[in-house]
Amino acid sequence: MEVIEDKTKVSIAYVLMERSGRILEEIQPTHPFVYIHGYNNIIPGLEAALAGRKLGEKFSIDIPCDLGYGAYRQDLIMKVPKEELQEVGELWIGMELEMFMDNDIREFQLPDTADEFIEDLNLDKDESDGIYIVKEIYRDSVLVDGNHPFAGKDLTFEVEVVDIEEPSFSELESGFPDQDEYDDEYDDGYDEKF
């Protein structure tokens, strides 16, 4: 496939920067980021910028925070009594916890997979469920922050379209790339397609 359209599996390499030029994240072409286009699984500004791009194309795009990771929300910062976190076990700064609210009862647990941090971004203005990062630990409480680390930042992406292909049936059903395929692909440290 040569052009990014809805329901295509896309592999991209990119450098993500703050507008000041400070690099926040860098994904190499040998180990690209893979997603299914049109399923709203990446930030809206980047997905819109990728639509219609061609295989091998390189471009730069500025994305304001409202089309990126959203505004920084004070309501997603909270002090939690340590007794609410007893089931979690050991705590450390930078630890990710998943929070659920049910009938005004708050519950924290460890995320099942690392992918949940991306999939459960707290971007919906009405929701507080999702991933929280431990920012500070006190004697009787813990300060957690449910904002994505890039929330409130205007961003610049320098992107290269590395591959475009037909997704599998299971990928179309789930909206996400088959994880096992990529785990096997990178066991030897390099994939010949890229």
CATH of the domain at 59: 3.10.50.40
Q: Are residues 79 and 130 in the same domain?
A: yes
Q: Are residues 127 and 33 in the same domain?
A: no
3 DSSP assignment: B
Copy the structure tokens of residue 191. 């994939």
Structural domain containing residue 86: 74-145
Is residue 191 one of the residues assigned to a domain? Answer: no
Condensed to tens digits (0 to 9), the pLDDT of residues 39-66 reads: 999 999 999 999 999 999 999 999 999 9
Q: What's 140's domain CATH number?
A: 2.40.10.330
Q: Are residues 160 and 131 in the same domain?
A: no
Copy the structure tokens of residue 17. 């920067």
Is residue 194 one of the residues assigned to a domain? Answer: no
pTM for this prediction: 0.77
Q: Are residues 82 and 27 in the same domain?
A: no
| Alpha helices, DSSP H, located in the chain | 44-50, 116-119, 169-174, 179-185
At 159, is the pLDDT very low, low, confident or very high (cuts 50, 70, 90)? very high
